[in-house]
Amino acid sequence: MPKTDYTRWRLKTERGRQTWHYLESDEQLAAWPQATYDKYHLGMDTGLPTLPEASNSLEAARNGLRFFSQLQLPDGQWACEYGGPMFLLPGLIISFYVTNTPVPEPWKVEIINYLTARANPKDGGWGLHIEGESSVFGTALNYVVLRLLGMGPDHPVAQKARNRLHELGGALGSPHWGKFWLALLGCYSWDGMNPIPPELWCLPNWVPFHPWRWWVHTRQVYLPMSYMYSLRHSHPKNDLIRSLREELYTQDYATIDFSRHRNTVAPADLYHPHSPLLDVANHVLGAWGSYVCPTFVQSYARKHVYDLICREDENTQYCCLGPVNNPLNFVARYLTEGGDSYAVQRHRETLKEFMWMKSEGMLMNGTDGVQTWDTSFLVQAVVECELTEEPEFKEMLIKALEFLEDQQIRENCPEMDKCYRQTRKGAWAFSKRTQGYTVSDCTAEGLKAVMMLQFTPGMPKLVDDRRCMDAVDVMLTMQNADGGFASYEPIRAGPWAEHLNAAEVFGKIMVEYSYPECTTAVVTSLALFREHYPKYRATEIQTTIHRAIGFIKNSQRPDGSWYGAWGICFNYANMFALESLALTGHTWENSPVVRKACEFIVSKQMDDGGWGEGYMSSVKAEYIHHEKSQVVNTAWACIGLMNAKYPKKEEIERGIKLLRSRQQPNGEWLQEAIEGVFNKSCMISYPNYKNVFSIKALGMFARQYEHIE
Ligand code: LAN
């Protein structure tokens, strides 16, 4: 029986793995353990009761926690939607298409629903992310998705989107990655692609621009791309492909001279224009590929790259680093090994874990989940409220601890040097252990949460001392020369490498940078560790912290703020930086750095007492107000000021009042604008933040100012 009743599909998350289940019978539906959770994310009335009205901040925090604890999944974590980027799903759908992988019927219905709901209401196109203006990348690729999923070209949604695409100049103006997917599908010519030669991977490791030095996401995307670029494989023509070829462009497909469009990028898409160095490199590499490179070198390079692709698959249990390289590796494995190979089957499974159902339909998440990250923050919020010992939350916290224990990575990658991997034994990943990528701040926040819980009376000790030390060992391998910490690895090449950024739509993707957010997470984690384990690597920890604080001070901007790379934007980074500084005794009273930061924060407070920062802050790297104050920004700003021991209580109190006024009678906060960002230009949702950070801010306020026993 076709599983077409899409209201019967349920997402189940166990041990951090998300899988889809089709519930045939009403009994199964009724017995589904996640009823409340699914309903919440499907935007239905959760049926959760109205809570007693809070008469102070602590009670408000407690109400928030009561609500949030209902969303905990049976395995102890708070998976949630992680949408935002609009360029990910097309990769998945095109990869399914070119590998003859059927898309389940309910997916087709729900994906079409989602894209319809998210099309720009005015012009019908899609942007780089859900709040962005329509672009060629977003519109051309999501148009292709609709068509591959069965929408006819005359459907009003398709028609409107196509008109918008043509107004933007058609698919010729796609950025590099868009051109790549279209070429693979057979809707763009490989002649119109700037080169992605696999031979780069055969350079000796000391070469300063060797791909092993690139930011891990960038190199893991270009790796399978280079493999397929060298194969120049395109999906065989059929009626749909022929039709798409005509629909996507403003002129006849046959008349297009693709080789002249390698550098054509629509103005709506261009964030990071090519540098002259990249243009020269593209010419040289193009000539190299066409005339110079001997075939034996080419086939050697292809083999080497394929080996790295296989290692990435195995090291991540086929989940891959992220949502772009998973479908790319999938296609690479399919083209090489055929549709029945083990690897191909595994990719078919793991790709499903990126899918998410919500009220608007089905979308693709930015990772295979937010499990570890959000769980760590929730634990810390409870600690901040000093509610860890309340019987009401004990079971929830034990489950969270069990989850975090289970998610710590226990082994390094086999032959990690050969695949250029960072130490990972002892680390936590962003999503889950099986994905297996160390992230500096995920390790730090994970360790903090574990220690905070384990040292609470009455809590079990699940992660032993050695494993806590392993986490510290990982962090100590990651400090950069400037004292800061980057995301996945220490910096491996200088910022000059950004001249080779070919993605056009993103900024700062070529190499790692030190981030105040990651640095703070590590510093606070090390400091907490030191309290409990004063003897372990004490001198190194001391110097690491000292140098890291130096980085925090040095990275403050002249106006007193810090630029946030992973949340929007200055409010996010300010909160972290002030936490680092507070740790070493820098507060408003004694530190000019902190004073300046507080002045900056307070100068951005809005009339209603809240803070609201628009996503253009991240794009433009200057503070841009949102038209409305935002719960998440307000929580971050208040936490920052409280960390700084800012003396004017009234200003913090106005922010706290705003948080309380937005809290719903059942304890939750409603979704507002998008919260997160990556690569400066692409926004990403963190729907748990509105609950978690509000709870944390209320708890801190209660402890600092309300003195309730
Ligand atoms: C993430 C999500 C989490 C984020 C934090 C932990 C918040 C940060 O402090 C460090 C960097 C990290 C781990 C991060 C890096 C980039 C990611 C993986 C993402 C923003 C989620 C999606 C994004 C990924 C790059 C999306 C695919 C796009 C490409 C350009 C390859």
Q: What is the mean pLDDT of the chain?
A: 94
Cα separation, 484 vs 544, in Å, equals 9
Best of 370, 510, 678 for a ligand 1 pocket test (most atoms within 8 Å of beta carbon): 678
**Residue 682, beta-bridge partner list:** 678
- Per-residue model confidence as pLDDT tens digits over 629-655: 999 999 999 999 999 999 999 999 999
Cα separation, 97 vs 149, in Å, equals 9
Ligand 1 centre to CA of 521 (Å) is 16
Tokens of 584: 């070493």
Query: Per the residue annotation, which of 75, 313, 441, 470 is the catalytic one?
Result: 441
Banded pLDDT at 359 (limits 50, 70, 90)? confident
Question: Is it the case that residue 15 has pLDDT exceeding 70?
Answer: no
Q: What phi and psi values does residue 583 have, to the nearest 5 degrees?
A: -60, -35
Nearest Cα residue to 530 out of 587, 474, 451: 451
Cβ(566) to ligand 1 under 6 A?
yes
- Per-residue model confidence as pLDDT tens digits over 292-310: 888 999 999 999 999 999 9
pLDDT > 90 fraction of the chain, expressed in percent and rounded:
87
Cβ(326) to ligand 1 under 6 A?
no
Q: Which atom of ligand 1 is nearest to the CA of 678?
A: 20
Question: Is it the case that residue 1 has pLDDT exceeding 60?
Answer: no
Region 88-357: CATH code: 1.50.10.20
Cβ(694) to ligand 1 under 6 A?
no
Question: Is it the case that residue 34 has pLDDT exceeding 90?
Answer: no
The pLDDT, as a whole number, for residue 535 is 97
Cβ(655) to ligand 1 under 6 A?
no
Q: Of residues 45 and 631, which shows the higher confidence score?
A: 631
Query: Are 165 and 174 spatial neighbours (Cβ–Cβ below 8 Å)?
Result: no
Protein residue with least CA distance to atom 10, ligand 1: 487
Contacts of 375 (CB under 8 A, 6+ apart): 76, 77, 78, 400, 403, 404, 449
Cα separation, 529 vs 527, in Å, equals 5
Q: What is the DSSP letter of 643?
A: H
Question: Is it the case that residue 35 has pLDDT exceeding 70?
Answer: no
The pLDDT, as a whole number, for residue 411 is 97
The pLDDT, as a whole number, for residue 47 is 76
Cβ(679) to ligand 1 under 6 A?
yes
Q: What phi and psi values does residue 20 have, to the nearest 5 degrees?
A: -95, 140
Question: Is it the case that residue 232 has pLDDT exceeding 90?
Answer: yes
- Per-residue model confidence as pLDDT tens digits over 305-336: 999 999 999 999 999 999 999 999 999 999 99
482 part of the active site: no
Cα separation, 358 vs 362, in Å, equals 6
- Note whether 88-357 and 371-706 share their fold: yes
- Least confident segment among 130-139, 240-249, 351-360, 412-421: 351-360
Tell whether domain 371-706 is in CATH 1.50.10.20: yes
The pLDDT, as a whole number, for residue 2 is 59
Q: What phi and psi values does residue 630 have, to the nearest 5 degrees?
A: -120, 135
Domain ranges (residues) in the chain: 6-54, 88-357, 371-706
Cβ(678) to ligand 1 under 6 A?
yes
- What residue has token string 């500084």? 581
Protein residue with least CA distance to atom 4, ligand 1: 566
Contacts of 704 (CB under 8 A, 6+ apart): 642
Mean pLDDT across the stretch 75-80?
A: 88
The pLDDT, as a whole number, for residue 16 is 57
